[in-house]
């Protein structure tokens, strides 16, 4: 693929009649590409009542295709993918940009297969080198960045939320909105969405209110080692203990204490990451913290890239020494 491309399609997500924040970020991503290559941008909004979201999205100055699907088809995700596939046949994109979300990751790889497109997921930056696009993505739990070149004519990319600034919804010139109806697509009912439920536990506010969050990662090794972190947190004002996804998956901490894309987004005064490797999923949930301190045995751990202070030590012995030192210096002070 060379950089003189013709069309970029952004696949929108929306809820409550408004485009999702990440969709506005994808528009910015598409515009960054347009800065380095001549291109048309179109967004596709698909759903039962897509028009309001499509109108709002067009205020960013983007041309939007609004595809309305029948209510009874809403619960069949495979059916919706077929509709999207047929829309792509018509729109003939060179680059498809979707969000790296549960929705985007559901349809994008399959869509790429059916289109014979290259599929590059988790793209956080796009540049050009010698006339070719370079897609930058995190690998190895965020430890390295890989610079990738597509080997197909069409490239489908997924972009994680937070990778680009959202596009402004007050463009000088509104984009056009084309209204499409889903046409005669063969039905596919092999997957049916029965219900959508919200896990109640996520409403815990203890992490929102904390000034200091002591966060545990897999590096702590075993559940018992959470104790020293709890002890440490007990020595700090307005503190809470949280954890990264793998730790919650192990059942060591409840779901409501999870920091990251699939958990909570926090921005305390101080975030202390203990044995956290720093995957992009985790970093997205804590990057806004005022001061970030990390303790990790691996000097190459990705968490250090976002830290203000780095302690390269085996986390458990270090935290034990730290707790001991604070406790003894306190008693001396009395």
Residue list 2-41, contact with another protein (CB under 8 A)? none
Q: Which two tokens stand for residue 131?
A: 């006339």
Least spacing, CB of residue 220 vs another protein, in Å = 15
The number of C-alpha atoms within 13 Å of 20 and in the hemisphere containing its C-beta is 22
The residue among 91 and 103 lying less far from another protein, judged by its C-beta, is 103
Is residue 197 at the binding interface for another protein, with CB under 8 A as the rule?
yes
Least spacing, CB of residue 175 vs another protein, in Å = 27
Is residue 298 at the binding interface for another protein, with CB under 8 A as the rule?
yes
Is residue 207 at the binding interface for another protein, with CB under 8 A as the rule?
no
Among 26, 30, 112, 286, binds another protein (CB under 8 A): 112
Is residue 270 at the binding interface for another protein, with CB under 8 A as the rule?
yes
Residue 114: its H or E element = helix 102-115
Least spacing, CB of residue 278 vs another protein, in Å = 9
Least spacing, CB of residue 332 vs another protein, in Å = 13
Residue list 54-83, contact with another protein (CB under 8 A)? 78
Least spacing, CB of residue 217 vs another protein, in Å = 13
**Beta carbons of 160 and 124 less than 8 angstroms apart:** yes
Residues 267, 321: Cα–Cα separation, whole Å: 27
Least spacing, CB of residue 173 vs another protein, in Å = 32
The residue among 31 and 137 lying less far from another protein, judged by its C-beta, is 137
DSSP 202: G
Residues 236, 181: Cα–Cα separation, whole Å: 58
**Beta carbons of 94 and 111 less than 8 angstroms apart:** no
Size of the site for another protein (CB under 8 A): 96
- Among the listed ranges 24-32, 47-55, 176-184, 320-328, the one in contact with another protein (CB under 8 A) is 320-328
- Among the listed ranges 27-35, 45-53, 66-74, 295-303, the one in contact with another protein (CB under 8 A) is 295-303
Is residue 120 at the binding interface for another protein, with CB under 8 A as the rule?
yes
The residue among 31 and 100 lying less far from another protein, judged by its C-beta, is 100
**Beta carbons of 82 and 47 less than 8 angstroms apart:** no
Least spacing, CB of residue 305 vs another protein, in Å = 5
Q: Which two tokens stand for residue 268?
A: 């305390």
Among 3, 55, 206, 297, binds another protein (CB under 8 A): 297
Residue list 138-177, contact with another protein (CB under 8 A)? 138-152
Q: Which residues of 112-148 are buried (b: 16+ CB within 10 A; e: fewer)?
A: beebebbbbbbbbebeeeeeebebbbbeebbbeeeeb
CA distances from 214 to 201, 273, 310 (A): 20, 6, 15
Is residue 311 at the binding interface for another protein, with CB under 8 A as the rule?
yes
Compute CA 251 distance to the chain's CA centroid, rounded to the nearest angstrom.
23
- Parallel/antiparallel/unpaired status of strands 18-19 and 14-15: antiparallel
């Amino acid at each position: 693929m060379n950089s003189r491309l013709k069309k970029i399609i952004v696949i929108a997500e929306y809820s409550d009649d408004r485009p999702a924040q990440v969709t506005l970020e994808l528009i910015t991503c598409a515009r960054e590409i347009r800065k380095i290559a001549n291109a048309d941008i179109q967004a596709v909004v698909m759903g039962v009542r897509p028009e309001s979201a499509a109108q709002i999205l067009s205020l960013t100055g983007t041309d939007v295709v609004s595809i309305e699907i029948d209510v009874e088809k809403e619960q069949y995700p495979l059916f919706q993918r077929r509709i999207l596939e047929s829309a792509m046949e018509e729109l003939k994109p060179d680059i498809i940009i979707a969000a790296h979300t549960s929705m985007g990751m559901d349809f994008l790889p399959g869509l790429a297969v059916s289109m014979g497109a290259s599929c590059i997921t988790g793209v956080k930056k796009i540049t050009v080198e010698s006339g070719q696009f370079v897609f930058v993505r995190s690998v190895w739990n965020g430890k390295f960045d890989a610079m990738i070149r597509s080997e197909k004519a069409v490239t489908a990319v997924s972009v994680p939320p937070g990778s680009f600034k959202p596009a402004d919804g007050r463009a000088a010139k509104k984009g056009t909105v084309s209204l499409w109806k889903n046409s005669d697509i063969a039905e596919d009912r092999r997957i049916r969405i029965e219900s959508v439920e919200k896990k109640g536990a996520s409403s815990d506010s203890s992490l929102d209110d904390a000034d200091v969050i002591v966060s545990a990662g897999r590096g702590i090794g075993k559940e018992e080692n959470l104790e020293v972190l709890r002890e440490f947190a007990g020595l700090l004002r307005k503190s809470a203990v949280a954890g990264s996804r793998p730790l919650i998956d192990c059942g060591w901490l409840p779901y409501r204490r999870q920091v990251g894309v699939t958990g909570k987004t926090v921005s305390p005064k101080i975030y202390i990451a203990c044995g956290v490797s720093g995957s992009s999923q985790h970093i997205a949930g804590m990057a806004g913290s005022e001061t970030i301190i990390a303790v990790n045995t691996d000097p190459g751990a990705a968490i250090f890239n976002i830290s203000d202070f780095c302690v390269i030590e085996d986390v458990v012995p270090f935290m034990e020494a730290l707790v001991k030192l604070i406790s003894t210096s306190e008693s001396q002070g009395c």
